[in-house]
């Protein structure tokens, strides 16, 4: 009806014109929030159905994170928010990691999770969370989630960025081509441990 904000002064008979406009709706349509963007947005940009299904936890972490970030949910672009579903099977873990671009709020939906983070002054904050419990992980701080109890755990995380990023310390150290002597120098780990974990996580050198 008002493809251009404030355009209601553009015609002496705005309402009939308005109706015709509605039928035609020519591009470029603005972003629903008023920002301009290249193509017209649709329902598909703002709704995502992927978080209703458990992720596949048949992996070394016995855990799965299913993202609803801007690549999955384009309507998030520019909005400073995103979400993800976390499944942790019995015995599973989301190991020590950091989101470079976002703070996180985690709500437990099923089961129990030992979740915590380490502060800039190396203090530890951790607690066993049950259904309905919520924890905050401040931006850029190392944190973790470990399944506890007798049920697989399900949780929803929210992030203060449409694309928060993820950096798991074990993968950063052991799943790439960073040479073992350099890994050992920057981590204080011994050579045998580094080589064992490089085998586990697929690292080379």
Rounded Cα distance, 93 and 65, in Å: 11
Tell me which residues in 149-178 interact with a second copy (CB under 8 A): 156, 158-160, 163-178
- H or E segment to which residue 200 belongs: helix 191-201
The verdict on 123 binding a second copy (CB under 8 A) reads yes
Rounded Cα distance, 75 and 85, in Å: 18
The single residue among 24, 26, 36, 38 that binds a second copy, judged by CB under 8 A, is 36
- Minimal distance in Å, beta carbon 38 to a second copy? 14
Contact 142, 96 (CB under 8 A): yes
Query: Which tokens in the block code for residue 88?
Result: 């942790």
Rounded Cα distance, 174 and 192, in Å: 12
Rounded Cα distance, 139 and 76, in Å: 19
Where do runs of H (alpha helix) occur along 55-148?
A: none
Tell me which residues in 75-114 interact with a second copy (CB under 8 A): 75-76, 79-85, 87, 93, 95-96, 98-105, 107, 109, 114
Count of other CB atoms within 10 angstroms of residue 5 = 8
- Minimal distance in Å, beta carbon 129 to a second copy? 7
The verdict on 69 binding a second copy (CB under 8 A) reads yes
Q: Is 184 annotated as a binding residue?
A: no
- Between 65 and 90, whose beta carbon lies closer to a second copy? 65
- Between 62 and 150, whose beta carbon lies closer to a second copy? 62
- Minimal distance in Å, beta carbon 149 to a second copy? 15
Q: Is 43 annotated as a binding residue?
A: no
- Minimal distance in Å, beta carbon 152 to a second copy? 13
The verdict on 180 binding a second copy (CB under 8 A) reads no
Count of other CB atoms within 10 angstroms of residue 16 = 9
The single residue among 27, 134, 149, 151 that binds a second copy, judged by CB under 8 A, is 134
- Minimal distance in Å, beta carbon 173 to a second copy? 7
The verdict on 24 binding a second copy (CB under 8 A) reads no
One DSSP character per residue, 14-30 reads HHHHHHHHHHH-PSPPB
Q: Is 31 annotated as a binding residue?
A: no
- H or E segment to which residue 187 belongs: helix 180-187
Residues placed in the known binding site for oxalate = 99, 104
């Amino acid at each position: 009806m008002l493809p251009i904000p404030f355009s209601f002064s553009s015609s002496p008979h705005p309402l009939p014109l308005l109706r015709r406009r509605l039928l035609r709706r020519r591009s470029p349509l603005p972003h629903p929030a008023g920002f301009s963007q290249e193509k017209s947005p649709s329902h598909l940009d703002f709704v995502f159905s992927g978080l209703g299904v458990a992720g596949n936890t048949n992996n070394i972490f016995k855990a799965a994170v299913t993202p609803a970030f801007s690549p999955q949910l384009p309507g998030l672009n520019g909005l400073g928010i995103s979400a993800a579903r976390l499944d942790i099977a019995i015995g599973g873990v989301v190991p020590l990691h950091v989101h470079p671009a976002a703070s996180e709020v985690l709500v437990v939906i099923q089961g129990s999770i030992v979740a915590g983070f380490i502060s800039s002054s190396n203090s530890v904050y951790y607690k066993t969370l049950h259904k309905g419990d919520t924890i905050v992980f401040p931006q850029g701080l190392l944190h973790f989630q470990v399944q506890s109890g007798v049920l697989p755990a399900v949780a929803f995380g929210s992030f203060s960025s449409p694309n928060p990023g993820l950096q798991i310390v074990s993968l950063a150290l052991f799943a790439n081509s960073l040479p073992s002597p350099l890994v050992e120098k920057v981590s204080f780990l011994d050579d045998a441990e580094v080589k064992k974990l490089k085998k586990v996580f697929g690292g080379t050198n």
